[in-house]
Structure 1
Amino acid sequence: MPVLEGTFTKRTFVELPRLVRGASVSGGKYGFDFRDDEAPADPRVALVDVRVSDLVSDDGFGGSIVTGNAPGATVFLSNVFFEPKWPAWVGYDTTNYDGMVLDGSKALYAEDLTVKSWNADSAADIKSDHAQFVCLKTEGNGNRTLRFWKAGPHYLVKSSVNNETGTIVWFKQCTGAKLNVFESTFNGAPALPANKVKCDEGSNPEIVYLTVDPRTTGEMHPMFSAF
């Protein structure tokens, strides 16, 4: 897989497949904007030891990474730090900013991901069929921390997800949605408070508190290891 390294100070377009390693970007509306324009189609991207910070947008949209131009993207994150420092959430017309924007993506696998100072709409706007987080840490407040558009199942393992003022977990369709949780906290509590879960449609999403680490059962991606 081709490798991208370096320090960037504007929105950076990245043709997939690509390994983004040891890179940093600041100053753009989007940090890394992934594309899959060249044949053959292979929309895979891995970010390792990457930092995105201090983004600037002239309109109401932006995010540390965006996959809208790489349909079906599979995204791998390892030791990644997002701190866009968006303005505080007001509404969709002016502050529809996110920590990351996974439009049209297929899957997200993230380990040791930190999202802080996202402030606006979401820390992670996840349109992936399924998302698996290990050691996710979110800091700060905003409209909705984790925004799941698909039913999953999704996973949170050994993670700390926080939002004192807004929603922690939002589902587009709660009926049939499933979130598996192992040894994670929500505003410091071991269970997700009912008033911190919101549905656009449906009701009663399935929140499962696992007693066995799912990294040991074969149900998570092999990039994750419990040891």
Structure 2
Amino acid sequence: MTDEVVNVLIVDDDALVRAGLSMMLAGVPDLRIVGEAADGADVPALVESAEPDVVLMDIRMPKVDGLAATEALRRRPDPPEIVILTTFDTDDHVLRALRAGATGFLLKDTPPADIVAAVRRAAAGEPILSPSVTRQLIAHVADGDDGSRLRQAAAQLAELSDREREVAVAIAHGKSNAEISAELYMSIATVKAHVSRVLTKLGLNNRVQIALLVHDAGLV
């Protein structure tokens, strides 16, 4: 980000949704719309030219959907944060996007002030997940799991030190760095260092993916 202004790219095949989001965000001093796209196919070139900090990404689009676009973006070096826009009728799709590295998701009927706050949080790398919705997503996956995901997640977490695993579990409970610091009696700087090591060891992009992995391993 430059001068603390958050550059935002809006990706949605509905012109009315794009117009509404643009109008809403354009009136916020620290947010700047740097581009719009009607399909995920147009996203790579726009990200290259406009360098957004946050991408608001629809799921259902005609050529390249938001899931494929998210996966492609997160493979780029220094990718933007991605917030999925959804009507929440496809929770398995939302989960796939989160596993791919999306920072979180917004319902399309989210109040304007909450959308603005969510964009700011995404730019700061903070997950945008309602605890109640997260439980629904985790339950949805658990219902259809044959145990292989649990075993794989447990094996990944076994690579962590005991302290790193404690931090990962705290993240899965939705705790902030300050809350983890108080709970585990360590400085915030140490918490941040542990989080960085957890992300590196597990090959993950953000705290949301840590939380999902911990849930997959049955530790929450």
Larger RCO of the pair (alpha carbons < 8 Å, separation 6+): 2
Tell me which protein shows more helix as a share of its residues.
Answer: 2
Tell me the TM-score normalized by structure 2. Answer: 0.36
Bigger Rg, which one: 2
Tell me the TM-score normalized by structure 1. Answer: 0.35
